[in-house]
């Protein structure tokens, strides 16, 4: 499989956001963490643009690590690739004896490779085994979720993670069908969703299976609970003047990132204090006004950039214990 078709999303803007922290690190070696290595497009650009920087890159997908290792080989020992989920960042840094980092990048969601490799089961546009695990060596597959979860639990997942208004209708059909024969492939699920939805629901929002597939993927990979731990951990690892940039692809991710960054940028002092003591001062300064969107030109060139939302922040203060 070629790396050439992989176009990193909002690449230039991510590099510009992180640049002041990675260029201005003085005497010490600046360390940047790519928490979601994927096919290595952002990592390669970080190493190229900032020649003095050391990169630590995480991915839970062994195949992504293998392909990226080839791509980043020319950079030698400036790149350290680690098989880990991104909420394991504190343990990874501990193991590598890196107390603080100057930059962190998250590019959330499914990588191009996972979408493009039919047998991974992420894409609803092609028939494939219903897997959806980002790391196929561990955890339960999407088929197991569909075939074994209680109906109420499936409804909760579709509503919460897919924001699917027709969750009850879809789940009723799933439960009926799985009793006849367990689900194994994506095409059967897509057809079931098409048949279950009323005409009006099929006329808007692209492929009617999109929300169900998103919900299953988030459940299978524990994406939101991982992210809930990972973003605060990344903020905690930043040096003073260090920067974080996060690319999200749906409202649930973006909301979570927004909450963590906004909380870090707010004072925690009780209201009415004439002077805010040091321990209540904000730890972060927001670098984006709301979430930044890709340009029309970028979306025209790379349709996967369309839903992207970018937020950034700078660490301005230590934690005061």
Kindly write down the DSSP assignment for every residue of 219-242, as one continuous string: HHHTHHHHHHHHHHHHHHHEEEEE
Q: What is the largest CA-CA distance in the chain?
A: 69
> Can you give the pLDDT at residue 24?
65
Does residue 290 carry a pLDDT above 60? yes
Residues 101/315, Cβ–Cβ less than 8 Å: no
Domain with CATH 3.40.50.150 in the chain: 11-113+223-315
Q: Which pLDDT score is estimated for 118?
A: 53
Q: Give the annotated binding-site residues for S-adenosyl-L-methionine.
A: 40-42, 59, 86, 107, 114
Please say if the pLDDT value at position 203 is more than 80: no
The dotted CATH code for 124-221 is 1.10.150.170
Residue 284 has pLDDT above 50, yes or no: yes
pLDDT in tens, 297-316: 999 998 889 999 999 999 99
In the predicted structure, residue 320 carries a pLDDT above the cut 90:
no
By percentage, how much of the chain surpasses pLDDT 90? 70
Asked if the model's pLDDT at residue 89 lies above 50, the reply is yes
Where in the chain are all domains bearing CATH 1.10.150.170?
Answer: 124-221
Edge-to-edge strands, sheet with 54-59 = 79-83, 54-59, 31-34, 101-107, 238-248, 309-315, 284-286
In Å, what is the CA distance from 254 to each residue of 238, 285, 319? 20, 18, 24
Q: What percent of the chain has pLDDT over 70?
A: 89
| Best mean pLDDT range from 91-100, 126-135, 262-271 | 91-100
**Average confidence (pLDDT) over 151-158:** 97
Distance CA 36, CA 303 (A): 20
Tens of pLDDT, residues 14-53: 999 999 999 965 567 899 999 999 999 999 999 999 999 9
Helix or strand holding residue 20 (H, E): helix 11-23
pLDDT in tens, 111-139: 555 454 555 555 666 788 898 898 888 88
d(CA 232, CA 129) in angstroms, rounded, equals 35
**Residue 10 backbone zone (phi > 0: left; psi -120 to 50: alpha; other: beta):** left
- State the Cα torsion 180-185-188-194 to the nearest 10°: 130
DSSP 73: G
> What architecture (CATH level 2) is domain 11-113+223-315?
3-Layer(aba) Sandwich (3.40)
As a whole number of angstroms, the distance between CA 228 and CA 86 comes to 11
**Can you tell me the mean pLDDT for 201-209?**
72
What local confidence, expressed as pLDDT, does residue 101 receive?
97
Show the tokens assigned to 211: 């929300």
pLDDT band at 1 (very low <50, low <70, confident <90, very high): very low
Q: Tell me, what's the pLDDT at 304? A: 85
**Residue 279 to residues 64, 88, 113, 233, 308, Cα–Cα distance (Å):** 41, 27, 44, 19, 34
Burial 176-210 (b: 16+ CB within 10 A, else e): ebbeeeebbebeebbebbeebbeeebeeeeeebbb
In this predicted structure, what is the pLDDT of residue 3?
39
What is the model's pLDDT at position 2? Answer: 37
In which element (H, E) is residue 116 found?
helix 112-116
3-class secondary structure, 293: coil
């Amino acid at each position: 499989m070629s790396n050439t078709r992989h176009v990193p999303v909002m690449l230039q803007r991510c590099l510009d956001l992180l640049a002041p922290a990675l260029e201005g690190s003085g005497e010490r070696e600046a360390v940047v963490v790519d928490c979601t290595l994927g096919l290595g497009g952002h990592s390669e650009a970080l190493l190229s643009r900032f020649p003095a920087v050391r990169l630590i890159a995480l991915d839970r997908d062994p195949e992504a690590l293998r392909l990226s290792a080839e791509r980043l080989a020319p950079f030698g020992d400036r790149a350290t690739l680690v098989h880990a989920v991104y909420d394991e960042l504190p343990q990874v840094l501990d193991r590598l004896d890196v107390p603080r980092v100057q930059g962190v990048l998250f590019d959330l969601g499914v990588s191009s490779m996972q979408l493009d490799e039919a047998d991974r089961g992420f894409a609803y546009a092609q028939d494939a085994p219903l897997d959806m695990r980002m790391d196929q060596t561990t955890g339960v597959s999407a088929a197991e979720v569909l075939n074994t979860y209680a109906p109420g639990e499936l409804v909760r997942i579709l509503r919460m993670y897919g924001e699917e208004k027709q969750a009850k209708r879809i789940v009723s059909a799933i439960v009926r069908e799985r009793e006849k024969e367990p689900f194994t492939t994506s095409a059967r699920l897509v057809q079931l969703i098409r048949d279950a939805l009323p005409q009006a629901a099929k006329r808007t929002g692209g492929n009617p299976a999109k929300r169900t597939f998103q919900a299953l993927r988030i459940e299978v990979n524990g994406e939101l609970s991982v992210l809930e731990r990972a973003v605060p951990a990344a903020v905690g690892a930043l040096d003073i003047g260090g920067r974080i940039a996060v690319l999200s692809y749906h409202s649930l991710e973006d909301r979570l990132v927004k909450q963590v960054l906004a909380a870090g940028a707010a004072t925690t002092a009780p209201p009415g204090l004439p002077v805010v003591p040091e321990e209540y001062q904000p730890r972060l300064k927001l670098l984006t006004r709301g979430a930044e969107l890709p340009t029309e030109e970028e979306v025209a060139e790379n349709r996967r950039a369309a839903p992207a939302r970018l937020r950034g922040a700078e660490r301005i203060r230590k934690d005061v214990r």
